[in-house]
Amino acid sequence: MGIRALLERLMIEHVGDRGSFSANLDAFEKAGYVGQRHREIIEATLEFGHASTHRNYNPTRQDITQVLDIAENIIQSIYVSAEQAKALKKGIPPRSNPKKGDKSV
């Protein structure tokens, strides 16, 4: 559930609190921070937390490592990779105007 709380805080920071994890995730997806595939991955981590907390599920060390990896990847894509991409864009020279019919540019 700690990972769930971490992911929810990340969503709230970016799209505000919509009152539930599901509504926050909807807004997070609609704002373009994650696509459908990542949404499904986040939902799986949520279910993992629910099972651990409410259904006496005892995950393996490998299960926990995988959930932590998922959270780390999402955090990295939102904070680290986004900033790295911005920095890269600043250094890329603009395209020159291609000649009509030239498809090499």
Answer yes or no: is 97 within a domain. no
Answer yes or no: is 102 within a domain. no
Answer yes or no: is 91 within a domain. no
Answer yes or no: is 58 within a domain. yes
Answer yes or no: is 104 within a domain. no
pTM of whole model > 0.85? Answer: no
The domain tally of the chain equals 1
27 has a pLDDT exceeding 60: yes
105 has a pLDDT exceeding 60: no
Chain mean pLDDT for the chain: 88
Outline where 16-105 has alpha helix (H).
Answer: 21-30, 36-54, 61-75, 82-91
Neighbours of 47 (CB within 10 A): 13
Q: For residue 6, give its domain range.
A: 2-86
22 has a pLDDT exceeding 60: yes
Q: What is the pLDDT of residues 54-99, one digit of tens each?
A: 898 888 999 999 999 999 999 998 888 888 888 888 888 888 876 6
